[in-house]
């Protein structure tokens, strides 16, 4: 009876250990699964394609739109540590060391070439945020972008901003399709896909032959791993490296290359003006010119836009950005809230 009782206790302890280890394995599995789910959720919360509705800041209305002919000159500023790590307007996270920019109306993301007209440096940036809302600025650039364009220390620069139409259209199409697929769900699930299987069979030894070593059935993952090694070993590259045959992901194909070299454009002389407005009737423009004449050299600039004459009321040329900021504030205070700084 003692032997039976002792054996029973031994089996009980063994069973308890098995259950304990099983519970530990299940716990580790659940923790691992939770981490994967958490990462998936984080990925889903990343930036999305966004144009946005009209909005008002400081009494001024802005109208976001897909404008693939956008080409503007003006004053750029930059933003850095105060916003680093904060959420951008399209749901991403601002990184002051990335090549990004904020724009008031262009889609997010879209891509623009920004050229510093003062030194000729030019760089491609991704628009992923809204701004700037300071008067007289047309684009707000990340700290890294400002460093590469050469105006971090001075704070502002005269720039030209041109949208890269093809690249921006491509990212808009791909991200919109991805979001639509995520919304309606994919018609194909992984369970519906055929699964590879590998089996082993022992063949009879041929007459007069030598019996081969016993064959071991390989699991599908082992077969894939070994065949990959064989393919790698069999590739002959003239450079001594194995070419990458993996297709680039959407993110890789469309993101701004962080190591992209700054191109150098010819430097041309520019002037700074403050434009109070553009009018279709000469008399109206001339009245504004007369009203603003105490502020400096006010003149009318006639241009043809879409087969229509416009008369632009401008003040300048002005000495620098600081002078332009002062004059802009005076023009706005006089009753022209849509006035802006022009680089021409």
In this predicted model, what pLDDT tens digit does every residue of 79-115 receive, in sequence order? 999 999 999 999 999 999 999 999 999 999 999 999 9
pLDDT tens digits, 221-245: 333 333 333 333 333 333 333 333 3
Q: Which residues contact 44 (CB under 8 A, 6 or more apart)?
A: 182
Q: What's the pLDDT score for residue 258?
A: 46
> What band does 17 get if pLDDT is binned at 50, 70 and 90?
low
Token duo for residue 327:
């004059």
Contact 138, 76 (CB under 8 A): yes
Token duo for residue 165:
């139409």
Q: What's the pLDDT score for residue 153?
A: 96
Q: What's the pLDDT score for residue 199?
A: 47
Mean pLDDT score, 289-302: 96
Closest alpha carbon to 99 in 306, 210, 261:
261
Domains and CATH numbers, the chain: 55-169 (2.40.40.10), 272-343 (3.30.70.1070)
Q: Name the H helices within 45-97.
A: none
Q: What's the pLDDT score for residue 34?
A: 31
Q: What's the pLDDT score for residue 261?
A: 77
Contact 139, 103 (CB under 8 A): yes
Classify 221 as helix, strand or coil: helix
CB count in 10 Å sphere of residue 126: 24
Q: Which residues contact 87 (CB under 8 A, 6 or more apart)?
A: 93, 94
Q: What's the pLDDT score for residue 306?
A: 86
Token duo for residue 1:
């009876």
Q: What's the pLDDT score for residue 48?
A: 84
Closest alpha carbon to 68 in 207, 218, 143, 170:
170
Report the mean per-residue pLDDT for the chain.
76
Mean pLDDT score, 269-278: 97
Cα gap 128→175, rounded to integer Å: 13
């Amino acid at each position: 009876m003692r032997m039976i009782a002792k054996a029973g206790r031994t089996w009980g302890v063994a069973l308890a250990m098995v259950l304990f280890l099983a519970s530990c394995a299940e716990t580790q599995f659940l923790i691992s699964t939770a981490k994967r789910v958490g990462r998936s959720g984080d990925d889903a919360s990343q930036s999305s394609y966004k144009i946005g509705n009209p909005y008002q800041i400081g009494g001024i209305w802005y109208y976001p739109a897909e404008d693939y002919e956008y080409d503007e000159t003006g004053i750029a500023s930059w933003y850095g540590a105060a916003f680093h790590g904060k959420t951008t307007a399209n749901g991403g996270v601002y990184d002051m060391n990335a090549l990004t920019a904020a724009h008031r109306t262009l889609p997010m993301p879209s891509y623009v070439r920004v050229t510093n007209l003062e030194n000729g440096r030019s760089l491609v940036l991704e628009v992923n945020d809204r701004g700037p809302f300071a008067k007289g600025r047309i684009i707000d650039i990340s700290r890294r972008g400002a460093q590469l364009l050469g105006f971090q220390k001075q704070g502002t620069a005269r720039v030209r901003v041109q949208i890269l139409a093809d690249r921006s259209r491509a990212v808009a199409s791909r991200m919109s399709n991805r979001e639509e697929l995520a919304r309606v769900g994919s018609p194909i699930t992984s369970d519906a896909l055929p699964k590879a299987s590998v089996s082993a069979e022992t063949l009879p030894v041929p007459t007069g032959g030598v019996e081969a070593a016993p064959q071991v059935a390989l699991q599908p993952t082992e077969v894939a791993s070994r065949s990959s090694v064989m393919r790698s070993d069999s590739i002959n590259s003239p450079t001594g490296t194995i070419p990458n045959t993996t297709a680039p992901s959407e993110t890789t194909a469309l993101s701004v290359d962080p190591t992209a070299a700054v191109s150098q454009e010819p430097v041309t002389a520019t002037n700074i003006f403050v434009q109070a407005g553009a009018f279709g009737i000469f008399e109206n423009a001339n009245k504004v010119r007369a009203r603003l004449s105490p502020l400096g050299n006010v003149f009318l600039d006639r241009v043809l836009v879409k087969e229509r004459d416009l008369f632009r009321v401008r003040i300048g040329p002005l000495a620098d950005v600081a002078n332009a900021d002062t004059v802009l504030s005076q023009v706005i205070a006089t009753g022209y809230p849509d006035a802006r700084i022009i680089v021409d």
